[in-house]
Structure formats: C-alpha cells, structure tokens
A and B are shown apart, each in its own frame.
Chain A
Amino acid sequence: DQQVKQNSPSLSVQEGRISILNCDYTNSMFDYFLWYKKYPAEGPTFLISISSIKDKNEDGRFTVFLNKSAKHLSLHIVPSQPGDSAVYFCAASSFNFGNEKLTFGTGTRLTIIP
C-alpha cells in the first residue's frame, strides 16, 4: 500500500523555467511533509518542509504548496538551474506517530536541460 505517491518517474525542464514536482498521499494522519533531493552516491538532502497548518512555504527558489482537501502537495523550483538535476523524494510524517518515521514516495528524476 503506497501511502505517498509520486506518479511522474521523470521530468525534463529547460533551464530558467519552472519545475513542478507533484506528490499525493492517502493517509489523513500525515501532518508534516518534506521534500528531499538526492544525487547519485549520496544520501537524501533535506530541501523544504511544510506543516499541515499551512498551505504554502517558500525558501528562495523553492516553494511547497499543500492542498489538504486533495491530499496533494507540489514543489515548485523557479528558476530551474542545471544543479537542480537530481531525484526528488516527497516524504510525510505525523507527530501522532511519536517517532520520526518518514514515509517516502518513489521519487521523481528531474533533469534540467541547459
């Protein structure tokens, strides 16, 4: 049962344009959402997060939007840069779990075309 889904395995975007990565979840207990970026041969790197009490969080070129009614979140990167080429994982958690179990999606490989 995949509780966090990233339905696009890959995405190619022209440098300078906006990259939009999508994520859906099914467990209504989730109340905290994170995006991680992963380069080959490295561990995931935390990018940005959002609590369920918000619908938007922005950090520089990265913005995460949360639509709780649709159980959907998206990561916007603007403008996209070649260094953004990586695999992006959406992850979800819940303070009710009492621990920091993160449930990950399967990832989206983003390629920025120069």
Chain B
Amino acid sequence: ETGVTQSPTHLIKTRGQQVTLRCSSQSGHNTVSWYQQALGQGPQFIFQYYREEENGRGNFPPRFSGLQFPNYSSELNVNALELDDSALYLCASSLGRGSTEAFFGQGTRLTVV
C-alpha cells in the first residue's frame, strides 16, 4: 500500500507566474484535500475533491483551482502568484466524503520571489 506522495518537494516561482502542484492519493482513497500552511501557522483548508468533483472550499480566491483525475490523483493550480502564496502546500487523502481521518503527504514548499 503506497502512501500520499506530492511533487515537486520544493519550488521557486516569480510573482505573477502560475504553478501546478501534484498529489497521488493513498491506494483506495477517493477523496483528496489541499491545505496551505504558512510559516508558524496551522494548515488551512483550501478545497476538497471527492470522485473528481469539488466538495467544499475554504476561504481562498478563485486563482486557486484544482482537479481530481479518475485515478483519484489531484492537482492544485495557483495563478498570478503573490508573495503571500509562499507556504507549504499539503495534500491529504481519505476514504469517503464523510471520513475524518486524513493521511498527509510530505508537502510542497513553494517560495514566491
């Protein structure tokens, strides 16, 4: 059984650029959630995908968007990057929309300069 994997692990982008982060969910899990963890803060919910459809969104602007694929892997896209987007982006997978135990990947550290 494979765990949650994210790529890339580190990334540096320039303000105004676009970025795509990727996540492979744990085997058998059909739900993926994305979180942003700024320095010194706890993870903040961005959105969740369940069976390829968005199932809940946190307080993030529309330039944060996502996709989930038929194999339940997922992408997080951020357009028009701002300096404040610099953070650790975490992907978590779980089984079922109502499940409350999420398994996290190691995260992607995004730095916007």
Contacts and interface: CB of A to CB of B under 8 A. Distances in A.
Contacts of B40: 106
B106 A41 contact: yes
Contacts of B100: 32, 34, 49, 93, 95, 100, 102
A4 B56 contact: no
Interface stretch (B13-21, B60-68, B73-81, B91-99): B91-99
Given A43-B90, A43-B104, A46-B102, A103 B97 contact: no
B42 A98 contact: no
Interface residues of B, number: 30
A28 interface: no
B84 interface: no
B92 to A, nearest CB: 8
B55 A98 contact: yes
B97 A98 contact: yes
B33 A106 contact: no
A42 B97 contact: no
Contacts of A105: 42
Contacts of A106: 40-42
A104 B55 contact: no
Given A42-B106, A43-B4, A99 B56 contact: yes
A22 B107 CA distance: 26
B42 A43 contact: no
23 contacts: A4-B42, A32-B100, A34-B101, A41-B106, A42-B106, A43-B92, A43-B107, A45-B104, A91-B42, A93-B100, A95-B98, A98-B55, A99-B50, A99-B98, A100-B31, A100-B94, A100-B97, A100-B98, A101-B48, A101-B56, A101-B58, A102-B100, A104-B43
Interface of A: 4, 6, 32, 34, 36, 41-46, 49, 89, 91, 93, 95, 97-107
Given A99-B55, A107-B41, 5 more contacts: A42-B106, A49-B101, A89-B42, A98-B97, A106-B42
